[in-house]
Amino acid sequence: MTNLNAGISMTVVAVGPGDPDMLTMKGREALQKADLVVGFKTVLDVVTEWTKNAEVKPMAYRDQEDVLEYTQAQARQGKDCVVCCWGDLNVSARELLNRVRRRAEHVQLVPCVSSIQFACARSGIALEDSLFITLHKRDDAGTDLEELIHYLDEGRRHIILLPRPFDLMPAGIAKQALDKGAAATQPITVFQRLTLDGEQRWDGTLAECADLTQEFSDLSIMVFFSANQISD
């Protein structure tokens, strides 16, 4: 069977949580030598300093397949092509990585620091004492929310959760968690725009979060604190 992607190589560069200073040297080198750099516009805005010699092509959810097809065509011609993603590519970029892997035989991954690590640092908790759940995917989030309730009830570890910008943000997640039996007094923190200008922090209970009417940034992350840890 013929491999239509034979010989095609692409690089995926994670850019970190938003502060350009967090981009790794490997990431900068990959961007500086690239012929084509693609990614969501908010991601590309972080790396403009290192893409001055490349064709830069923004993409959105509605046209990402078309942009990645174009990227594949350029890579097939021998162009050095880089796809950029937020945070660390091992955290919540599974769907994007799958799309890239369907179009290239060789995919080089350049990881970076994640907002997860910054959320731990700002909260004073250890990643080894925490669980991570991401809603950054287009699948039904029901199973993930059930998992959240299960581990909240268990109470053994902190839970770090990435909301889904287009329909599952902090207040809505809190409401669903309460509906499924989570404790109203569960302490949580919501971080917004970590490492960026305008970084914010909200602290309260699950019930208080559910009652919020403010809009949270798409770059939000929730921390649910372990009752056991709090009691120590």
- pLDDT tens digits along 159-191: 999 988 777 899 999 999 999 999 999 999 999
**Six-digit token pair at 185?**
């007094």
Q: Whole-angstrom Cα distance, residue 21 to residue 49?
A: 11
195 in Cβ contact with 18 (< 8 Å): yes
Beta strand 158-162 with 106-110 is: unpaired
Computed over every residue of the chain, the mean pLDDT equals 91
Closest CA to 215 of 152, 170, 182, 181: 170
- Assign 214 to helix, strand or coil: coil
Segment among 55-69, 137-151, 211-225 with least mean pLDDT: 137-151
The phi and psi torsions of 12 (rounded to 5 degrees) equal -110, 120
**Predicted confidence band at 218 (pLDDT cuts at 50, 70, 90)?**
confident
CB atoms within 10 A of CB 128: 7
pLDDT of residue 231 exceeding 50 = no
Choices 2.40.30.60, 3.40.710.10, 3.40.190.100, 3.40.1010.10: CATH for 9-113? 3.40.1010.10
**CATH number corresponding to 116-231:** 3.30.950.10
Q: Which tens digits make up the pLDDT trace of 38-57?
A: 999 989 999 999 999 999 99
Q: How is the chain split into domains, by residue range?
A: 9-113, 116-231
Name all contacts of 107-110 with Cβ < 8 Å and 24+ positions apart.
Answer: 107/9, 107/10, 107/11, 107/12, 108/9, 108/10, 108/11, 108/12, 108/30, 109/11, 109/12, 110/11, 110/12, 110/13, 110/14, 110/24, 110/26, 110/27, 110/30
CB atoms within 10 A of CB 218: 14
More confident: 208 or 114: 208
pLDDT at residue 144, as a whole number: 84
| Cα–chain center distance at 2 | 34
User: Is residue 96 exposed (0-12), middle (13-18) or buried (19+ Cβ within 10 Å)?
Assistant: buried
